[in-house]
Amino acid sequence: MKTIDELLAEGVAGKRVFVRADLNVPLDGTTITDDGRIRAVLPTIAKLAEAGARVVVASHLGRPKGTPDPAFSLAPAAARLGELLGADVAFATDTVGESARAAVAGLADGQVAVIENLRFNPGETSKDDAERGAFADQLAELADVYVGDGFGAVHRKHASVFDLPARLPHYAGYLIATEVGVLKKLTTDVQRPYAVVLGGAKVSDKLGVIDHLLERADRILIGGGMAYTFLKAQGHEVGSSLLQEDQIPAVQEYLRRAEEKGVEFVLPVDVVVAPAFPDLKTKAPAHPTTVAADAMPEGQMGLDNGPETNKLYASKLADAATVFWNGPMGVFEHPDFADGTRAVAQALVDSPAFSVVGGGDSAAAVRILGFDENAFGHISTGGGASLEYLEGKTLPGLAALED
């Protein structure tokens, strides 16, 4: 895999460099609530611009179903990128049409343009190779060189991620090089003890990675909505908590295999419950109570780890040498149910371990809860991509960058 440093050594002045970034930021209307992904790709874009490239930045945002939708416009991301670069950034209101061609043609050396949301074109996400390829052909007309730096999308076989690199000289940007280097530390020559913290809503989203980690991790800590399927699999009642009944046999098999292999599975010993899911807009008090994990009352919903679980999990992370965390421990967006997620983040800050926060809601939680990002070994920009890498899957966007 060639890197951007090799490209810069070859010279990029005057060349149109297509940067597939991940600007898929959360929006409240047109206000960006977390610009972490924009800041993550900034070093690649800035370095190319400084070297005189004419930088064409492309990304997806949300799931607009292959047609333009103002709610998913990249305009706010383009504006924020300009603020961070301290320079004007041109914005094209389409992907490969008249506006995109004009924006790229108007670039001088060292200038940057952002084209509109790639997923406004059905060819970007099409499962038909010919349709994807046709869109990739149109994108290729906008550039001379391709730089892949959208790690959050490398697990997708999409036109701008998989097909376009085959049509242009291609290189990995700084973010992808960093992400892959970090993930290798979680899969080869891992420093032990190796602890994994998994949360989030659905256990079905994590089955593949749990299966893979049973062969590699020393201990696995479970939280979030998925914990209640584990507790149910152990024979406990879980009230009205999120539950995937159809996954109970798989979970029971994982618990059996973990015991057989000597992998420590750690589940909540107490949980914070409430009668209903909280209002995340008003943040109105949700009247939580704390109960033992094996004594959840009927009609109560588990929404966070309890204080004893927080202490237990901190102790299980204190002596780890490597930690991977993906998924919050509760509904961290509401103050009544943020303590479990905060406790895991604090435990990683306090631990001497090499800690990796696996993107998605975990990365958002770290920022929302006010932690210093530099206190962690690495905060990934791609939760789904990180999980699939740890499952041992081939990621299309990484494969496309290989020569």
Q: Binding site, residues?
A: 22-24, 37, 60-63, 119, 156, 206, 302, 333, 359-362
80 assigned to active site: no
The pair of three-digit structure tokens given for residue 372, joined into one six-digit string = 């210093």
Among residues 37, 54, 219, 232, the one annotated as catalytic is: 37
The pair of three-digit structure tokens given for residue 278, joined into one six-digit string = 């909280």
Among residues 39, 202, 216, 257, the one annotated as catalytic is: 202
202 assigned to active site: yes
Nearest of 162, 44, 172 to residue 112 by alpha carbon = 44
Region for residue 360 given its phi and psi (left: phi exceeds 0; alpha: psi -120 to 50; beta: otherwise): left
Alpha-helical segments (H) within 194-294: 207-213, 227-233, 248-261
Q: How far, in Å, are 10, 96, 253, 285 from residue 56 at the CA level?
A: 19, 12, 49, 46
**Binding-site entries for substrate:** 22-24, 37, 60-63, 119, 156
**Binding-site entries for ATP:** 206, 302, 333, 359-362
> Which residues on adjacent β-strands are paired with residue 398?
none
Among residues 360, 382, 383, 397, the one annotated as catalytic is: 360
**Binding-site entries for (2R)-3-phosphoglycerate:** 37, 119, 156
- Please report, to the nearest 10 degrees, the dihedral formed by the alpha carbons of residues 118, 119, 120, 123 taken in order: 90
Nearest of 82, 76, 146, 155 to residue 112 by alpha carbon = 82
300-319: buried (b, 16+ CB within 10 Å) or exposed (e) per residue?
bbbbbbbeebbebbbebbee
37 assigned to active site: yes
Nearest of 125, 179, 183, 176 to residue 150 by alpha carbon = 176
Among residues 173, 340, 382, 384, the one annotated as catalytic is: 384
DSSP string of 192-208?
SSEEEEE-SS-GGGGHH
Q: How far apart are CA 55 and CA 92, in angstroms?
A: 13
Decide if 100 contacts 115 (C-beta within 8 A).
Answer: yes
Q: How far apart are CA 243 and CA 203, in angstroms?
A: 9
Q: How far apart are CA 33 and CA 71, in angstroms?
A: 15
384 assigned to active site: yes
Cα angle at 288 between 285 and 294, to 5 degrees?
165
Name the residues annotated as catalytic.
Answer: 37, 202, 360, 384
